[in-house]
Amino acid sequence: MDAISYQRAPDIGAALAAASQPGTMFIGGGTNLLDLMKGGVMRPMRLVDITHIDGLNGITALPDGGLRLGALVRNSDAANHAWVRERYPLLSQALLAGASAQLRNMATVGGNLMQRTRCAYFYDTGFPQCNKRSPGSGCAAIDGNNRMHAILGASRQCIATNPSDMSVALAALDAVVRVAGPNGERTIPFAEFHRLPGDRPELDTTLHAGELITSVDLPPPLFAAHSKYLKVRDRASYAFALVSVAAALQMDGNTVKSARIALGGVAHKPWRANATERALVGQSLDKATLQNAAALAVQGAQPQRDNAFKIVLAQRAIVRAVQQAGGVA
């Protein structure tokens, strides 16, 4: 490991000032960053520890009835908080589906949003071809083992997927990310926070240089009674999703009043299935309706050699998740 310097920031202002120096990265729980540093994938010159900044580790009610999750709230604390369990069970389910209990006890809300892809070619520096790690070098996954990779929104530059379970739920819930930076504070709608790879796959998010996530805001709860996070994986614990679905419904009797559907494991970012959502509104949850709506979610999919099965798997997972959310399965 390369020599690095370490600084503990007492407040947001100090953290932002430190981040103005080249080669600086923020560190919270470190569950992803430290692994990447040990593997030589990321080589920051300076780490700024933000874990002692007051005001970033709380869960507070918002005036509109929503909820604010501080960036330093541990994943385990968020998943088990009474307000989250009662008002946003979709988020609680997603958090509990991710990683081990030990990792959830360390990982933070802000860090979860910033975790990098688990693409094996990105993690293994023995493979020189990785546009995310070394822009312009190529993408080894395209001609390699790509069973876990993207079927939607990818490019010839990168077919990696976003690994976060929490982010899939936040995408379905229309969360907002609050950040502080050199130019002040701003908010980013969750749909705009993560990027598709395009020709710049090394850029995972739309954060500007030196910006720090301070919180994630959830809108007033609308889907507590009818939501489900379904994660399909190779083994029942501690595995990343082949496909995951965050399904949230408002029901009027047996009819869907509104729907939110987001997918994980299929794209470089959490993937909102907007056409599926529209197709469900005003409909009952009969199997034919669900199958037709689910098919819309994978229109335009471009599978690789090893992952065409995800097209069918995603549709079946959507049907199952919506059935469970609506209480018909």
Q: For residue 17, is it within any domain?
A: yes
Confidence of residue 1 (pLDDT cuts 50, 70, 90): low
Residue pLDDT, tens place only, 73-126: 999 999 999 999 999 999 999 999 998 899 999 999 999 999 999 999 999 999
The domain that contains 319 carries what CATH number? Answer: 3.30.390.50
Mean pLDDT in residue range 34-40 = 95
pLDDT at residue 116, rounded to an integer: 97
Residue pLDDT, tens place only, 133-165: 999 999 999 999 999 999 999 999 999 999 999
Confidence of residue 2 (pLDDT cuts 50, 70, 90): confident
Mean pLDDT in residue range 158-184 = 98
pLDDT at residue 3, rounded to an integer: 84
- The Cα 150–Cα 301 span in angstroms is 9
Q: For residue 170, is it within any domain?
A: no
Q: What is the mean pLDDT of the chain?
A: 97
Q: In the chain, how many domains are there?
A: 2
- The Cα 150–Cα 93 span in angstroms is 23
Q: What is the DSSP letter of 276?
A: H
Residue pLDDT, tens place only, 247-296: 999 999 999 999 999 999 999 999 999 999 999 999 999 999 999 999 99
Q: For residue 302, is it within any domain?
A: yes
Task: Count CB-CB contacts under 10 A for residue 164.
Answer: 26
Structural domain containing residue 33: 1-48
Q: For residue 240, is it within any domain?
A: yes
**pTM given for the model:** 0.97
- The Cα 181–Cα 20 span in angstroms is 10
pLDDT at residue 287, rounded to an integer: 96
Mean pLDDT in residue range 39-45 = 95
Q: For residue 104, is it within any domain?
A: no
Q: For residue 20, is it within any domain?
A: yes
- Nearest-Å Rg of the Cα atoms of the chain is 20
The domain that contains 10 carries what CATH number? Answer: 3.30.43
Q: Give the closest residue to 113 by CA, choosing from 62, 58, 70, 51.
A: 70
pLDDT at residue 153, rounded to an integer: 98
Q: For residue 262, is it within any domain?
A: yes
Residue pLDDT, tens place only, 18-27: 999 999 999 9
- The Cα 287–Cα 319 span in angstroms is 8
Confidence of residue 299 (pLDDT cuts 50, 70, 90): very high
Q: For residue 14, is it within any domain?
A: yes
- The Cα 189–Cα 45 span in angstroms is 31
